[in-house]
Amino acid sequence: MAKKAVKEDEKIVETPTITPEKAETSAGENSAEETPEQFTKSGKKSKKHTEEVKAEEERQARKLENTAGEPTKRAGAKPITRPKIERRGKKYQEVAKKVEKGKIYDLKSAIKLALETCPTSFDATLEAHVRLNVDPRLADQNIRAVLVLPNGTGKTIRVAVFAPLDIAKKALTTGADLAEDEDFLAKLDKQQLDFDVLITTPAYMAKLGKYARLLGPKGLMPNPKSGTVTNDIEKAVKEAKAGKVEYRVDKQAIVHIGLGKLSFGADKLEENTTTFLDSLKSSKPASVKGQFVKSLYLSTTMGPGIPVENNLN
């Protein structure tokens, strides 16, 4: 047998070379009985982990043998899905019977029916939901507009003005609920948002930049397109108090807007609705060909939807 001399600490140590036959024999012996030195104390190479993996593999193998050739069955009885109308409240189900299936109402009849199908005990709002044939991802088709409803919205609008001190004083006499200069920023630092509309001047708009994350998600950030960034503060305050509303298309290409309280009566609600539809029709992008409005529905707060004739195309 060949031998190899190794010098270690000035001593001659003779180590025998391992032949292929001897290597196979030693490998067989180690596989039969593994020594503790082959495993680490913890981790994926530990003896405990190796045993757990082996046990899991055996369990999965037994599971496949037991379920071989048998169709999988779900435990328990098949769930029963009730119709959507049955999952509504009792008051909703009663008033929903007044809306005929498959019938499309004219505007006047739809408003009259909306007044009759209100299931709430409080003064609800008449809402319009319009599905448009636009792509909101395109800049020219991302519809956004403002209008002043002739009879207002029926809500008390709290208007705040952030402008130089002399302009702020004039805004208070016009009807603003809050008008301040630099002191207004201290309230924003404390996240005091006790207003519904914020109006400012172009010069002061830069000071609101760091509050965009606070005001933006709540729809309170001033915007030139909505008329809340202007030098004519007095006019903006009067319009906001008179019932100026903003609408825009959402990601599903639908416009949602409130058109006034039911206590207004049918005539005032019809006037508000006609004003909104005229504004929406004038907002049609030039790039949209063919049908602009796909469907139009009116409803009250928590009430059933009423399909309306589409005369906007």
The answer, yes or no, to whether residue 74 has pLDDT greater than 80, is: no
Q: What digits encode the pLDDT tens for the residues 268-293?
A: 999 999 999 999 999 999 888 888 99
Q: What is the CA radius of gyration of the chain?
A: 37
Strand partners of residue 307: 297
Give percent above pLDDT 70 in the chain: 83
Tokens of 68: 């071989």
Confidence of residue 126 (pLDDT cuts 50, 70, 90): very high
DSSP 172: H
Q: How many residues are present in the chain?
A: 313
Among candidates 237, 230, 223, which has minimal Cα distance to 148?
Answer: 237
Ordered by where they begin, the domains of the chain are 88-154+243-313 (3.30.190.20), 155-242 (3.40.50.790)
Q: Return the higher-pLDDT residue of 69 and 277.
A: 277
Supply the DSSP string of the chain, one letter for each residue. Answer: --EEEEEETTEEEEEEPPPHHHHHHHHHHHHHS--GGGSBSSSTTBHHHHHHHHHHHHHHHHHHHHHTT-----SSPPPPPPPGGGGS-HHHHHHHTTS-TT--B-HHHHHHHHHHT---SS--EEEEEEEES--TTSGGG--EEEEE-TT--SS---EEEES-HHHHHHHHHHT-SEEESTHHHHHHHTT----SEEEE-HHHHGGGGGGHHHHGGGT-S--GGGT-B-S-HHHHHHHHHHTEEEEEB-TTSEEEEEEEEGGG-HHHHHHHHHHHHHHHHHT--TT--S-SEEEEEEEETTPPPEEB-----
pLDDT in tens, 4-55: 444 444 444 444 554 545 444 444 444 444 444 566 666 667 888 888 889 9
At 13 the pLDDT is 45
| Contact in structure between 153 and 245 (CB atoms under 8 Å) | yes
Q: How many CA atoms lie within 13 A of 216 on its CB side?
A: 6
Residues 254, 244 contacting (CB under 8 angstroms): no
Considering Cα of 206, then 211, then 213, then 218, what sign does the dihedral take? Answer: negative
Predicted local confidence at residue 79, as pLDDT: 80
